[in-house]
Amino acid sequence: MLHINSVVKKFQRGKNHIFHALGPVDLRIGDGEFVTILGSSGCGKTTLLHILGGFETPTTGSVEVDGEAVVRPGRKLGMVFQEATLFPWKTVLQNIAWPIEQRGVRRPDALNQATEYLDKVGLHRFGMVYPHELSGGMRQRAALARTLAMQPQVLLMDEPFGALDAQTREEMQEELTRMWQSSGLTVVFVTHDISEAIFLGDRVIVLGGKPGTVIEDCRIDLPRPRSQATKSDPKVLEYRAHFWELLRRASAN
């Protein structure tokens, strides 16, 4: 599904300085996998995600989805950012209908389809309100619904729950896993939270170092569906201690 081939990213800083931020990174992500990318601040995980989405161009290397090179944002890859990106002048329902209309669907039909996506994220009663009237968690739900309405093959998520309170964050984690299992989407989820990475992922990709590279690709052996009870599984504590030590060593180098 998603092939990341020797991706390197360097940034020009002034006339004489080049900052090597990332890579080389090589990864293969299968159809329907939920992969979390874990790393401390500054390791290049968001840069990698933006390259996957076509928002950044790699200095060298390439990204392919189903054998097609990613050179710009497109419909195959949907992105959910750290802050909910919604049109403030549109209602929640109109926001979700917008990508459906962009596919050439008539507005009445697009609004009907958008209602289905509202239901999926539990916002069926909030279609006619505007984004500023929603809580942070509800705005992220709406942003997720709008991205799902694009019908992407791959869902890219850049620490989307980082600004939420602890309870809302846990609710969103469970909601996301439920939607993922029912949709068959491939998900790449960036986080710096070890527990979140373990709870969500089929695999945890640990990035570290400067430049950021893959220091571990770990398959998570926890049954699905997962719930809050999963977080008390002794395996979770083992994974957490292991990843904590990996990140600690990476930060020290």
Per-residue pLDDT at 201: 94
CATH 3.40.50.410 assigned to 1-75+152-160+189-253: no
Report the DSSP pairing between strands 203-208 and 34-38.
Answer: parallel
Q: Sheet containing 2-13: which strands, arranged edge to edge?
A: 17-29, 2-13, 60-65, 68-69
Nearest Cα to Cα of residue 5 among 47, 42, 58, 44: 58
d(CA 170, CA 211): 31
Per-residue pLDDT at 103: 87
- Residue 179 confidence (pLDDT) above 90: no
**Predicted model pTM:** 0.91
- Confidence tier at 175 by pLDDT (50, 70, 90): confident
Q: Which two tokens stand for residue 119?
A: 């239901």
Looking at the chain, the domain(s) classified CATH 3.40.50.300 span 1-75+152-160+189-253
The sign of the torsion formed by the CA atoms of 127, 225, 170, 162 equals: negative
Per-residue pLDDT at 150: 87
Per-residue pLDDT at 81: 85
**What are the residues facing 62 on neighbouring strands?**
5
Residue 20 buriedness (CB in 10 A; 0-12 / 13-18 / 19+): middle
Report the DSSP pairing between strands 60-65 and 68-69.
Answer: antiparallel
Per-residue pLDDT at 4: 94
Q: Please, where are the H alpha helices in the chain?
A: 45-52, 92-102, 107-120, 136-149, 166-183, 194-200, 234-252
**What are the residues facing 17 on neighbouring strands?**
13
Instruction: State pLDDT tens for residues 87-103.
Output: 999 999 999 999 999 88
